[in-house]
Amino acid sequence: MGESHRRRWLVTAMAVGVLYLAVGFGSSTLAGAAAAHPMRLFWRWSAFAISAVVFAAHIAHEHFRLRSPARATAWHASIAVAFGGFALALVANIHDLGSPSGYRPRMLMALVAWPVLTAVPAFVVALVVAAGLGMRRSDGRAGKR
């Protein structure tokens, strides 16, 4: 893998991770400001839906535009998810510093737990999806011969 290709996927993964942070932080802010419970639920579920769209778009970008193999696609997508999870955990730790109850040291575990708990399932899902897309691509090529 060339240095420019490595830099390109890493920059993309970090940008997607920042999108996950923006979605998570924005929806949590809107949920916190909502007066009614149904609206809080709406904003929380919207974060999942928007993140799923971002995740699918990242897989599509890796697969169709960059022509990455399934394992690389899954790795790059899961790194972006892990980066987003870490960024959200960092924001949660910073937010906890100003809480009335004071900072809880166990929040430090989130800095490791959130990236791992999000990246592992993301890798599995992205690998299955990318492998399925790869099978479709190879079936399409075989039919044209």
pLDDT at 69: 94
Q: What is the pTM of this model?
A: 0.86
pLDDT at 7: 80
Cα 54 to Cα 23, 59, 102, 126: the distances in Å are 10, 9, 34, 12
Residue 129: Cβ within 10 Å count: 19
20-67: per-residue pLDDT in tens?
A: 999 999 999 999 999 999 999 999 999 999 999 999 999 999 999 999
Question: By 3-state DSSP, what share of the chain in percent is helix, strand and coil, each rounded to 5?
Answer: 90, 0, 10
| pLDDT tier, 136 (very low <50, low <70, confident <90, very high otherwise) | confident
76-87: per-residue pLDDT in tens?
A: 999 999 999 999
- The CA distance from 98 to 51, in Å, is 27
Is residue 96 over pLDDT 90? Answer: no
The DSSP symbol for 108 reads G
Amino acid identity, position 100 = P
Per this entry, what is the length of the chain?
Answer: 145
Average pLDDT, integer, range 99-117: 89
Is residue 6 over pLDDT 80? Answer: no
